Every structure is written in structure tokens, then in C-alpha cells.
Structure 1
Amino acid sequence: VIGGFKQMTYSQQHAGPKKICAAFTVVDSSGVELSCTLWGNFATTLFNYLNGRTNNEPVVIIIKHGKIKDASDSYAVSIGNAWNGTKVFIDADYDDAKKIANR
């Protein structure tokens, strides 16, 4: 999945009874919005990146080998990280990412 970061919809930034979590929306190159959820270190990496930004340029997120969660009742299809095998790239230097950033 490659998409431009649109908004954070939920965040749990400190470990406690709940795991660290970042739920957000990305928009792909065709304008389709997709819900994403990152857990643990993936979420921490995203929080650190977003909090450390010094500009307002678009943020492009790539989730490789993510886990697809089927739609149910009031929830749309979403993607998240699996506990092993998932790779997350933020503002990576790839042509497809640049196209989304320049939209």
C-alpha cells in the first residue's frame, strides 16, 4: 500500500494496558482513502516522524506485506502491520511515493 498521510484517527502513544497504536487514513494515487493501523514499534516510528517534522510537505507511507482486515459491520476494509514480515517506509525515495507527494 502506498498512500499520502491524511489524518490520524486514533492514537495510543504510551504503553500501558493497551498496546501502542496509530490509526490513520491514507489516500492512494487514485484518490481512494484507506484506513491503516500500525502497532508497537511501527506506530512509535510514525509518531516520532510526525512529531519531528519541520515542514508541511505531504507525508507518504508505504506498508509492504501488511495484513488486510476485512470490512465488518461499521468498519471499512483496513490494513495494518503483521507481527512479522511487514515493512513500513515513511517518505521513502521511490517514484510512486514521489508521485503521491506531488499530487
Structure 2
Amino acid sequence: MARKFDLIKDIDEKKETLKLAVRVKDLWFVQNRDTNRHMEFILLDQKGDMIPAMVKKEDIDLWEEKLVEGHTYIMHNFKIMKNQGQFRVCDHPYKLLFIGATTIKEQPISNIIGVVDNVRCNPQSKNVVFHIRDLSFVVIGCTFWDSYYFKFMSNWRGEPVSFVVVVMLTQAKIKSSSGWWPVSISNSWNGSKLFMGDECSELVRFKEQWIQYTFLELLSS
């Protein structure tokens, strides 16, 4: 059985080995007056908890191209340190130091946009399952949980039945197809962002293209 992921809120000096599934929320470089620089970043887990992390100047070549802001990773083997100093980027009492033995594996996280279809609401478990279709008419299963469920249902109920509803989910969690089950997505972490209606220009442009494509399909049929 695969080992469960540790949670950021449970990190302390007592546990020597960690297995984290986290997203790099913010990443930046700090350069001193002597031209030496190191990397600092904030890690975010699925519960929304954050912890600071850093890479020292001597190890920066190992990690500069591997760690990307907004990407999600499974990580092992850190040095756990006290989060001290006058200026702390988050309130966690500890911070993680990346060392040569630290390993990471990037997780498949993407931005997804498409037209909503075949909605099935599950109020008791606070989730909604539906299909989205892209401009190639490819169908992908989608599940939204908790606050994403509430936002989706609020927007969905307010639209006429015949209206085209487009959603975009950033940092979506992708589940590979298995047997009869197709590729599916869901909201991942508290860092995912859900856009609906006319909230951003990408949605407006996609909706215009969808209406144009479906109109042309009707003319050719």
C-alpha cells in the first residue's frame, strides 16, 4: 500500500521523513550584496496550509529549472528548520530546506476550459459531476467539490436551460482513464480557480467560438 501524504500542519521536528503533495504557490530569488543568491518559495497543500521553503546558493543549480511557480509536486527528504527571523512570509513555525537528497516528481495539473453538459448534483456530499466539451467536441468528465460546488451551482441555476455555460478551472487535477472510465478532472487544492459566465476574456472568446462552430455544424447537417 502506498504511503499516505503528510500534511503541512503536522510538520514538526519530531518527524524526520516527509512525503508531501504540494503546489509551489509563490517562488522568488533573493540576492545579497555580495552577488550570492538563493531561492525561496511557499508550498501549499490540499488543505490550504502553507509552509516556507528555500534552496541555498550552493544547491540552486539543482533546483532552478525543476521548481516552477504554480506547478504541483510530490516531494521527499527535506531538512526541517525553525521558521525564525523578523520577516516571515507565512506563519508556520517551521520551514523546509531543500538538500541534495530531496526528490520531487511533478504531478499532472492543467487549466481546462469547456462547455457544460449533463450536470448531476449531489447536495448531500457537496459535489457536482458533469461533462465539459472543448472546441474539438472532446468530452471530459468533471467533478467539483465544496466551495467550487457552491459557486458552480449558484451560476448554473441562474442560467436559462438553452444558454451556453462555459467554465474554466485553473490548476485542475487530472485523473487518467482506466478501463471504461474516461479522463476526468476535478478541483485541486484551495489554489484552483473556477471561472464561469463572463468572468474573464478567455470564457467570452471560447463561448463566441463555440456558438460559431455549432452554427456551422447545423448548416452542414
Q: Equivalent residue of 2:130, what SS?
A: strand
Higher strand share: 2
Structure 1 residue 54 displacement after superposition: 4.7
* Counterpart in the other structure of 2:121: 11
* Counterpart in the other structure of 1:50: 156
Q: Equivalent residue of 1:11, what SS?
A: strand
Can you give the 5+ residue segments of structure 2 that lack an aligned partner in the other structure? 1-111, 211-221
What TM-score results when the alignment is normalised by the length of structure 1?
Answer: 0.82
- Residues 12 and 55 (structure 1 numbering): CA distance in 2 closer, same or farther, change over 3 Å? closer
Whether the 8 Å contact between 1:34 and 1:77 is mirrored in structure 2 is yes
Do residues 74 (structure 1) and 180 (structure 2) align? yes
Q: Which gives a bigger RCO, structure 1 or 2 (Cα 8 Å, sep 6+)?
A: 1
Runs of 4 or more, structure 1, over 6 Å off, are none
Alignment partners' CA distance in 2, 1:30 and 1:59: 17
Alignment partners' CA distance in 2, 1:51 and 1:4: 15
Alignment partners' CA distance in 1, 2:205 and 2:173: 24
Whether the 8 Å contact between 2:196 and 2:203 is mirrored in structure 1 is no
What TM-score results when the alignment is normalised by the length of structure 2?
Answer: 0.41
Q: Equivalent residue of 1:57, what SS?
A: coil
Structure 1 residue 61 displacement after superposition: 0.2
Two-structure CA RMSD over aligned residues (Å): 1.7
Letter of the 2:123 partner, please give it: Q
Q: Matched residue pairs, number? A: 97
Whether the 8 Å contact between 1:71 and 1:78 is mirrored in structure 2 is yes
Can you give the 5+ residue segments of structure 1 that lack an aligned partner in the other structure? none
- Equivalent residues in 2 for 1:6-45 (5 A)? 6-8=117-119, 10-14=120-124, 19-45=125-151
Alignment partners' CA distance in 1, 2:161 and 2:129: 22
Instruction: Choose 1 or 2 for highest CA Rg.
Output: 2
Alignment partners' CA distance in 1, 2:123 and 2:129: 11
Letter of the 1:28 partner, please give it: D
